Structure 1
């Protein structure tokens, strides 16, 4: 199984040309309005939601505030799909649409934290549609017995990875996330350039990291405080030694960036897929031919 990483295009207003999600879930901040503690506003400049920390909050711009008057809560609903988190999903009844015009060649896309029956990706070169594919999000991996086949219910996949489509500079990429009759959601979208790093070897470690806490009440009884979890993934990769500099260059380029990584774009992703960052990379070289590199990645909530 090959291992891939997607180097992201950082989405800005110049890239996001259209969406059916409006930035109107809260009023836009107005310098002439006095806000009370707890009032919520948004800024269409920063695409963030802010909470007033005090009463009599007048003419204090939340986009430059130091936390005295405003608390920066999260991205707006329209921009939640690009805030490098899965726990603050973009949400809209029935369907979500985004149109993105990349400023670099993008041959891969990944969508995380999905609530959808179908995902459709279409690519336009001017007025000509050059790519159009719809993916049904039913997850058949949950069928593990005759009982689950007949009575297990329908389970939908929470992520989708696609590579090899023609997302060249100037093309328009239309993304449609459909949940007819329900609430469509997407936690994060990574659009960028796909890099094949190497072949996954035996001995992959997938570690569950719980961020929940155990506290005690006044009587000494335990109380569990759920705070979600992440994963730490340690992957040995076989790479031709001559390609060592290429792999190290790719890792250096994505250092400090939120990336998508996965083992297989179709079928099961074997638990080594995720939205996260490179934590460590050890690259011993074997002059005989192939080298085994160890890559450590951590996922984001």
Structure 2
């Protein structure tokens, strides 16, 4: 099984050329409006949400304010939530979500996380010509463990999906449609970029559960549990031809400090849960001059 990582492409106002999600979470900040304590506005520059922390708030730009008048809630607007490096702040819309993106870098892979949808469609256009059109049904059969669950276990849908191999060159338009007819379509984060195979996954890969919930005790010794979600720590031993060591080290350096997608792929086997949205936490690459080098890559997912 190969281990893949997607070197992410930035998605800014230049790349995002269209969406059916309106950017109207709150009023757009207006220099001539006086805002009361607790009023919220959005900025079309940063695509973030701000809350007034003082009454009589007039003429103070939330983008340049240092916190005296506005609190940056660190939340992207709903239209931009799919590109804010978080899964928990989701973009949503009734029936379907659409995004049109024109890459400024070569892009042959898309990974979608935090999905609530029945299908995802990817279309690629070169000028006015449709050159790629694929729809991926997100039905998930991983819960089927017996004849009973096959017939009565209900219908489940995948929460994440990796798509690659399409012709997303610079200047092409990539149209993404996330469909949930009769329901609310959701997506937590979308990564677009160039797919890279780092090496072959060896036995001993580990996927660890990291709880962020608080576990405390009151004065009587009773447990106080406060649920705050969880992330995963993925430890993957990889086999890489030693002559490719510089390539692998350069790729790890390229994605260092960036939120990206990673996954295992094989023609004959599932990925065994080695798939996620996160960042490289540790990478040490011992070199074996005999031919292949074996090293461990540690990644952590984000909420």
Q: TM tier, shorter chain? A: over 0.9
Given the two structures, how large is their TM-score scaled by the length of structure 1? Answer: 0.97
Contact 1:8 1:259 in 2 (8 A): yes
Q: Deviations over 1:148-200 (max 9, x none)?
A: 11111111100010111100010000000000111100000000001100000
Q: In structure 1, what is the equivalent of residue 183 of structure 2? A: 182
Q: CA deviation at 1:54?
A: 2.1
Q: 1:269 is matched with which residue: 268, 271, 279?
A: 271
Q: Deviations over 1:51-89 (max 9, x none)?
A: 112222222211111122211120000000000000001
Q: Distance in 2 between matches of 1:268 and 1:39?
A: 49
Q: In structure 2, what is the equivalent of residue 296 of structure 1? A: 298
Q: Deviations over 1:211-253 (max 9, x none)?
A: 1102344554322111111111110000111111111111111
- Aligned counterparts, 1:112-123, within 5 A: 112-123=113-124
Contact 1:81 1:90 in 2 (8 A): yes
Q: Deviations over 1:84-111 (max 9, x none)?
A: 0000010111100000000111011100
Q: In structure 2, what is the equivalent of residue 234 of structure 1? A: 235
Contact 2:241 2:293 in 1 (8 A): yes
Given the two structures, how large is their TM-score scaled by the length of structure 2? Answer: 0.96
Contact 1:162 1:265 in 2 (8 A): no
Q: Distance in 1 between matches of 2:79 and 2:218?
A: 40
Q: 2:283 is matched with which residue: 281, 286, 299?
A: 281
Q: Distance in 1 between matches of 2:221 and 2:272?
A: 41
Are residues 1:40 and 2:30 paired? no
- Aligned counterparts, 1:1-301, within 5 A: 1-73=1-73, 74-217=75-218, 219-264=220-265, 268-301=270-303
Contact 1:91 1:185 in 2 (8 A): yes
Partner of 2:103: helix, strand, or coil? coil
Q: Which runs of 5+ in 2 are unaligned?
A: none
Q: Distance in 2 between matches of 1:140 and 1:236?
A: 28
Contact 2:111 2:192 in 1 (8 A): yes
Contact 2:262 2:276 in 1 (8 A): yes
CA RMSD of aligned residues (A): 1.3
Partner of 1:158: helix, strand, or coil? coil
Q: Deviations over 1:34-62 (max 9, x none)?
A: 22222111111110011112222222211
Contact 2:2 2:266 in 1 (8 A): no
Q: CA deviation at 1:127?
A: 0.9
- Say if 1:120 and 1:269 are closer, same or farther in 2 by CA, change over 3 A: same
Q: Distance in 1 between matches of 2:60 and 2:223?
A: 43
Q: Across the two proteins, how many residue pairs are aligned to each other?
A: 301
Q: Distance in 1 between matches of 2:190 and 2:244?
A: 29
